Amino acid sequence: MPTVTANRFDGLAGGDGVNIGEIARRAGVSRSTVSYALSGKRAVSEATRRRIQEVIEEVDFRPNANARALKEGRTRTLGLVIPPAQRHLTDMQLGFVASVVEAAARVDLDVLLSPSGADHDRSFERLITGRRVDGVILMEIRLEDARVARMRQTGLPFVTIGRTAHPDGICWVDIDYETLIGRCVHHLADLGHRHIALINRSAGLVAAGYGPGHRALHGFAAAVAQRGLQGSDFCIADEPAAGEACVEEILASRPEVTAIASVNEAALPGIQRGLQRAGRVVPRDFSVTGVAARHWAEDLRPPMTAADVPALEMAQYAVELLLERIAQPEAPPRHLLLAPPISLRDSTGPPPLGRRSAAAAGGAGPTSPPRPRPAATG
């Protein structure tokens, strides 16, 4: 008998199938009244409101998000373009993703993901066309980035985490790798180191125009020159094994090097391991510093003196900027360049005796002494 089957869908249908018209019918009012009762955009009598509310709760009604988005012209959804997962994402990137989602959720916004490399692909196109999202956050930006150009073309509001070579006219949030690596070098120079190595991200990434790679190198070169030091730099893969191999190579081919500055977070455990296997005790025999997520630096032994990347704050600010941009697309674009201070931990100290520069031979401790410098790095 069809009656039994019908009952299942009739009474407490659990939210699917019921629409605003059904609510209106049950409450004995018009659809518009239900809508106004829900949005509060027009006055509805207390009695009516209660009746509608009861019906809504009874059948667990939720307005169809698509219909609403269609009429309102906005989706309450943000797009997030993440690097493709082929090579697993770095911890820092993943921190961003989680933080962006969290920040968006806090203001009742959803996040749509698109794993897209530098050249915009199908997934990326799907995300930005068809009014699927109100705005987009782009990650792992290249100095020349086709996706940024495409976004500009569409007119869809967007914010980048990282920035292109000429980021004029767009909103972005970035870490000032140039300054941060500069600070690392100065810190090491203050301690008396004269030969420093930079451990950068992979050669492929740098060759592809990945900003932080380039800017770290610039900052390194500038600071090394300023302090009259010897510097060498290495591009290595984002993995511990590469860090270990790189340390071996440095110790073998550049024995005069007494300190490493790294922007390659994933390689840190390997760097540490390589030094240890070579019998170098950190920080007594060798210093290590760089830029990394805080928990990453703290999980090393000894804990690493480093500029802590504030992923959560960056993500929150990116969401905030994007919302601003969505609200006022014509407002002048804002941006944020973060240069968090170096957190002193236990991985840096003066170089071994006989390797110190004259300037710092007085035996500076692991804390950074005040240092005279011609201009501020910021």
Partner DNA sequence: CCGATCTGCCGAATCGGTTCGACTGACGAT
Partner DNA sequence: ATCGTCAGTCGAACCGATTCGGCAGATCGG
What residues line the site for DNA (CB under 7 A)? 17-21, 24, 28-33, 35-36, 38-39, 41-49, 61-64, 67-68, 70-73
Q: The tokens of 19 are what? A: 């629409």
Alpha carbons 247 and 99: distance in angstroms, whole number = 33
**Minimum distance of DNA from residue 69's CB (angstroms):** 9
CA distances from 285 to 13, 200, 224, 260 (A): 71, 22, 21, 12
Q: How many CB atoms lie within 10 A of CB 313?
A: 15
Strand 195-200 to 230-235 pairing = parallel
Which is closer to DNA, CB of 34 or CB of 267?
34
Which is closer to a second copy, CB of 153 or CB of 253?
153
**Minimum distance of DNA from residue 327's CB (angstroms):** 15
- Which residues make Cβ contacts (< 8 Å) with residue 67, sequence separation at least 6? none
**Minimum distance of DNA from residue 20's CB (angstroms):** 3
From the CA atom positions of the chain, what is the Rg in Å? 28
Which is closer to DNA, CB of 109 or CB of 307?
109
Among a second copy, DNA, none, partner that 32 touches (CB below 5 to 8 angstroms by kind): DNA
How many CA atoms does the CB half-sphere of 240 hold within 13 Å?
A: 9
Write out the residues near a second copy by the rule CB under 8 A: 14-16, 62-70, 75, 77, 82, 84-85, 88-89, 91, 94-95, 97-99, 101-102, 105, 108, 110-115, 122-123, 126-127, 129-132, 153-156, 239-241, 244, 269-270, 273, 295, 298-299, 301
Among DNA, a second copy, none, partner that 31 touches (CB below 5 to 8 angstroms by kind): DNA
Residue 266 · residue 239 · CB < 8 Å? yes
Which is closer to a second copy, CB of 47 or CB of 71?
71
**Minimum distance of DNA from residue 334's CB (angstroms):** 28
- Which residues make Cβ contacts (< 8 Å) with residue 203, sequence separation at least 6? 235, 236
Among a second copy, DNA, none, partner that 156 touches (CB below 5 to 8 angstroms by kind): a second copy
Which is closer to DNA, CB of 48 or CB of 276?
48
Among DNA, a second copy, none, partner that 301 touches (CB below 5 to 8 angstroms by kind): a second copy
Which is closer to DNA, CB of 43 or CB of 376?
43
Q: Which residues of 24-39 are buried (b: 16+ CB within 10 A; e: fewer)?
A: bebbebeeebbbbbbe
How many CA atoms does the CB half-sphere of 5 hold within 13 Å?
A: 2
Among DNA, a second copy, none, partner that 42 touches (CB below 5 to 8 angstroms by kind): DNA
